[in-house]
Amino acid sequence: MSKSAVDVCVVGAGPAGLSAAYILCQSSVNTAVLELGGQVGGISRTVVWDGFRFDIGGHRFFTKDDEVDRFFRDLLGDEIIWVNRTSRIFYRNRYFDYPLKPANALFGMGIGTTARCLLDYGSLKVKNLFHHREIVSLEDWVSNEFGHELFKLFFKNYTEKVWGIDCSRICAEWAAQRIKGLSLRVAVKEALFPSRNGKVTTLIDKFMYPRLGIGRISERLAESVTALGGEVRLGSRVTAVNHEGSVVTSVEVEGPEGRYALPLKRLCSSMPLTELALAMRPEAPAEVATAARSLRYRDLITVNLMINRPRVTDDTWIYIHDPTITLGRIHEPRNWSAEMVPAGKTSLVVEYFCFQGGEIWNMDDQALIDLTIEDLDRRLGFLKKDDVIDAFVIRTAKAYPMYELGYEELLRKVVDYVGSFSNLETVGRYGTYKYNNMDHSIKTGMLAARNLLGETRQSVFDVNRAREYHEEKILPTGS
């Protein structure tokens, strides 16, 4: 079966694909968005369950790009609220403020450990005056910035929980991009003598959030696409991409009406880059296919609990560094927006970083829920089993593109191959195999749309190239 041709087919109704579709529809381009899921939003969707609203892990909106900032504000208007960030780290059976405050860290770690960290940091700075170390891995980078003692205390456990591999196998590039460029010296100074003029306030955090959940970004975009005459087809999976030489001609789709081919003039894909390369017909050269199969992702499980209490934490996020507790991060949606829960009730979203097919991924849902409640009760003291009204589990494959040592060479082969098609743009976090946040994902959608309209020729891979993008972070947080 074949359907009538579209000018642009967009694969994926997450923020990237829908931003591209929105801009294309504003220019009256005949556009169809194909989304395999039953709702829009991709990884940044909001799932509604019995009056409770859950994001796939807490998603705050933050951008340094003025155009994306305006785009977000125009899109959501009075749905936007400002949220104060208060986060803590759980480690060694106690809580540490995040960002770290010296008094809290001193009493938490003990004077001996703190002194050892400061001495180690001081001697590192002196050694660095005489000796230039080669920085290859995340472990090298963090140890060189903060000292090896602090690396072991505050970076190693959590980072290895997020990534599932040793810090010596993670690229330094990821740390340089995601961990705050702020030095320990400035962090300590800011904590002891907070600046009054607001100039050095990068550790204090407020962020924008849609009051009905982060999924509202994609929902509003999809509404606009449809209002402008575009189509969003849910439950529609692209299974193959047909091409003649360097021109993509159609996609094969499995949808609610069965299988069909959709002829197209141009393709904009936010499906994982590796899957796109493997979906090409005729098939990609063997070398490209091998590279695509070798690039790995880290996967995610969220356990969502509905709780018969008005509130259980004061935090936006709690990071569980403790290696003896399997869960990685917790957020309480009502602390982001009161409208995420029914009156008088609260909820928790608990994140497990894992590999598809691994032990945690394969646990059945009830066992995961039981493990979560047990740890929240016995280890963290947030709730009792009887407080939990209901719970469900969401498994998200390919949540994090992995920056393992050696990945750049593999990625280059895939990017070069996909880039050889003249009427194809790839967008978003997975379409570019980049650790992109929503603002980057939206930006790639905007750029790709303009490229497809013939207005510009700018590579989407240039987005999120700047080092130290997240100036407000001093720890890797796994967004």
Ligand X SMILES: Cc1cc2nc3c(=O)[nH]c(=O)nc-3n(C[C@H](O)[C@H](O)[C@H](O)COP(=O)(O)OP(=O)(O)OC[C@H]3O[C@@H](n4cnc5c(N)ncnc54)[C@H](O)[C@@H]3O)c2cc1C
Site string for ligand X, 275-314 (x = CB under 6 A): -------------------------x--------------
Q: CB under 6 A: which stretch of 145-153, 219-227, 318-326, 437-445 binds ligand X?
A: 437-445
CB of 330 to ligand X, least distance (A): 12
Which of 149/205 has CB closer to ligand X? 205
Site string for ligand X, 372-391 (x = CB under 6 A): --------------------
Cross-strand pairs, 208 = 61, 82
Q: Are 353 and 162 in contact (CB under 8 A)?
A: yes
Which of 222/369 has CB closer to ligand X? 222
Task: Figure out which of the listed residues 20, 43, 289, 446 binds ligand X, where binding follows CB under 6 A.
Answer: 43
Q: Are 411 and 295 in contact (CB under 8 A)?
A: yes
Task: Figure out which of the listed residues 20, 57, 216, 304 binds ligand X, where binding follows CB under 6 A.
Answer: 57
- Cis peptide upstream of residue 476 (ω within 30 degrees of 0): no
330 binds ligand X (CB under 6 A): no
Question: Inter-axis angle of helices 286-294 and 407-418, to 10 degrees?
Answer: 130
35 binds ligand X (CB under 6 A): yes
**Rg of the chain on CA atoms, in Å:** 23
CB of 338 to ligand X, least distance (A): 19
Pairing outcome for strands 6-11 and 258-269: parallel
44 binds ligand X (CB under 6 A): yes
- For residue 315, which of 328, 299, 331 has the smallest C-alpha distance? 331
108 binds ligand X (CB under 6 A): no
The SS3 of residue 422 is coil
CB of 106 to ligand X, least distance (A): 30
CB of 440 to ligand X, least distance (A): 7
464 binds ligand X (CB under 6 A): no
CB of 12 to ligand X, least distance (A): 2
315 binds ligand X (CB under 6 A): no
Task: Figure out which of the listed residues 6, 8, 14, 68 binds ligand X, where binding follows CB under 6 A.
Answer: 14
Q: How far apart are CA 90 and CA 96, in angstroms?
A: 6
Task: Figure out which of the listed residues 53, 59, 161, 473 binds ligand X, where binding follows CB under 6 A.
Answer: 59
What's the Cα-to-Cα distance from 5 to each of 76, 263, 264, 276, 310, rounded to whole Å? Answer: 32, 5, 5, 20, 52
Q: How far apart are CA 117 and CA 113, in angstroms?
A: 6
237 binds ligand X (CB under 6 A): yes
Task: Figure out which of the listed residues 8, 12, 21, 154 binds ligand X, where binding follows CB under 6 A.
Answer: 12
Count of chain residues binding ligand X (CB under 6 A): 33
What is the CA angle 142-326-145, rounded to 5? 5
Question: Inter-axis angle of helices 15-26 and 438-452, to 10 degrees?
Answer: 40
Q: Are 392 and 365 in contact (CB under 8 A)?
A: yes
- For residue 201, which of 221, 220, 187 has the smallest C-alpha distance? 187
463 binds ligand X (CB under 6 A): no
Where b means 16+ CB within 10 Å and e means fewer, 57-71 reads bbbbbbbebeebeeb
Which of 177/441 has CB closer to ligand X? 441
CB of 149 to ligand X, least distance (A): 29
479 binds ligand X (CB under 6 A): yes
213 binds ligand X (CB under 6 A): no
337 binds ligand X (CB under 6 A): no
The SS3 of residue 119 is helix
Q: CB under 6 A: which stretch of 39-47, 118-126, 190-198, 384-392 binds ligand X?
A: 39-47
CB of 19 to ligand X, least distance (A): 8
Q: How many CA atoms lie within 13 A of 472 on its CB side?
A: 15
Q: CB under 6 A: which stretch of 2-10, 165-173, 241-249, 427-435 binds ligand X?
A: 427-435
CB of 134 to ligand X, least distance (A): 31
The SS3 of residue 37 is coil
Q: Are 443 and 463 in contact (CB under 8 A)?
A: yes
What's the Cα-to-Cα distance from 475 to each of 1, 56, 61, 433, 468, rounded to whole Å? Answer: 52, 21, 18, 22, 12
CB of 400 to ligand X, least distance (A): 6
Q: Are 21 and 15 in contact (CB under 8 A)?
A: no
Task: Figure out which of the listed residues 429, 434, 450, 470 binds ligand X, where binding follows CB under 6 A.
Answer: 429
Binding site for ligand X (CB under 6 A): 11-17, 34-37, 42-44, 57, 59-60, 237-238, 270-271, 300, 351, 399, 428-430, 436-439, 441, 479
